[in-house]
Every structure is written in structure tokens, then in C-alpha cells.
Amino acid sequence: MPQVRQVYYEDHEQAWERLRLRWRHTTPAPAIGPEHLPDSFRVRDPATAPTVISAITTHPGVASTTRHTPAAPAGSYRSSTARKA
């Protein structure tokens, strides 16, 4: 996709670390751990999110797509790489 310059892969352990750092000044939820977070790809430019979502939604292995708000510190778009059932 020419409008995407860089894609960031984040496994569930990296997602957990990012979440832990983001919420380090609060009490963590004991029921949440790395195993609850999907591996994902991140695209930072919110302007490309609709195009990227349309292009990858039907690819094998993409379980879901989520468009995050601009307040999300790590990007504006996330695609889970978990397998569809």
C-alpha cells in the first residue's frame, strides 16, 4: 500500500509492557495479563486508517480491526493477527 510508509508489529508481550507503562501510576487489574492481548500491527497516520482497514479486513488471519482515538499513545489503528474461527 503506497500510503503506508511503516507498519509496527506488536506481540502480546510488547502490548502488555506498553499497557503496564501507560497505567504504571494506577492499580493494575489482576485479571488482565499478556495472554489477554492480541498480537497486532499498528499504523500511525489516522488519515490512512480507513484505507488500511478496507484493504486488510478480509485477509486470512485478521480476526478484527480497531480504530483508536487520537489520544491512544501508540497509534491510531490496530489489527489483531489472531486466527478467525
Residue 45, class by beta-carbon neighbours within 10 Å (0-12 exposed, 13-18 middle, 19+ buried)? middle
Q: Give per-residue pLDDT as tens, 32-41.
A: 788 888 888 7
Question: What pLDDT is recorded for position 75?
Answer: 44
Which residues of the chain fall below pLDDT 70?
28-30, 68-85
Range of the domain at 42: 8-80
Q: How many Å apart are CA 43 and CA 67, to the nearest integer? A: 10
CA distance 43 to 7: 5
What pLDDT score does 68 carry? 66
Which run of H or of E encompasses 8? Answer: strand 8-10
Asked whether residue 37 is assigned to any structural domain, the reply reads yes
Domain-embedded: residue 85: no
* pLDDT at residue 28 in the model: 65
Q: Is residue 68 part of a domain?
A: yes
Does residue 61 form part of some domain? yes
Give buried/exposed letters for 50-66 (b at 16+ CB in 10 A, else e). eebbeebeeeeebeebe
pLDDT score, position 71: 52
Q: How many residues does the chain have?
A: 85
Q: Does residue 53 lie in a domain region?
A: yes
pTM of the model: 0.56
* Total domains present in the chain: 1
Q: pLDDT (tens digit, 9 = 90+) per residue, 65-75?
A: 877 655 544 44
Distance of alpha carbon 77 from its chain centroid, rounded?
A: 6
